Amino acid sequence: MIIALGRIDLLAATWPGANAPRGNRGAAYHEERILQWVLRHNPHCHYIFANTDDCGERPDTWGIANQSLGLPVVWDVALITLHHRMLAIRSSFFTTADVPDCDMNMHLALALDQDHAPRRALFADNPPSTVINVTMQPMRRYHTVDRRHHRQSIRDGSGLVAIVNSPGIFERPRLEEIERILGFQAGDTNAPGLQPEWSRTTLRWNVLGDCVDVRAMAHILNVLPWSPESMVERGGD
């Protein structure tokens, strides 16, 4: 059977960090095979593989991905977004020179509803995360957005927001606030007609916990070369 896909200019993919079990080449290996097939028929094609930096938690998966797709450019999206997440980019065009400078004009308060406010940070940011939040100062960046409701930052309160006019009372940000923190419009992940309500809510948390930040992805794609020739001009292979 012959499948005609037409011209492919960009291959983009990601995979769950736990997708490569011990002793198995895993998703990164299969994505490399797909990439080689695409390049064989589309030698001009660029590619990008985006994942969270899970080197410390899953060294086997990290090693497999490095062997299959090369070493990544790792950076904290908090440089230009409203939350922390260490993003690993393996691509044909994004280099360390393309990592943006820190935008200190961005403030977490911009994404919160009027009855919520950033709490004073219980902890300062620690490297390798970009150091932006300062202990006992209003948080400028949210913690890494996670699908789990019982993550450490929720249990210790550092990932909560303050309720305006209720001193000392804090709660988890609403889904719509998380959407804005990640660069979406409020309601973008709300799937109409998906019932019951708890199913829709669970799906939205799952999507937001796994997606790549809109601002970060927009920045990455803004440096995508227009043609293979432009890669040569930038010093690429």
Which tens digit of pLDDT belongs to each residue from 29-43?
Answer: 777 888 888 888 888
33 three-state secondary structure: helix
In a domain, 127, yes or no: no
Domain count, the chain: 1
Confidence of residue 237 (pLDDT cuts 50, 70, 90): very low
Cα(40)–Cα(43) distance, integer angstroms: 6
Cα(79)–Cα(173) distance, integer angstroms: 21
In a domain, 59, yes or no: yes
183 three-state secondary structure: coil
The encoded tokens of residue 32 equal 């490399």
In a domain, 227, yes or no: yes
Cα(159)–Cα(150) distance, integer angstroms: 11
The encoded tokens of residue 43 equal 């030698």
Cα(127)–Cα(68) distance, integer angstroms: 27
Least confident window among 117-126, 173-182, 184-193, 214-223:
184-193
**Per-residue pLDDT, 62:** 74
Q: Is the pLDDT of residue 139 over 70?
A: yes
pLDDT in tens, 73-111: 999 999 999 999 999 999 999 999 999 999 999 999 999
In a domain, 58, yes or no: yes
The encoded tokens of residue 190 equal 């709300």
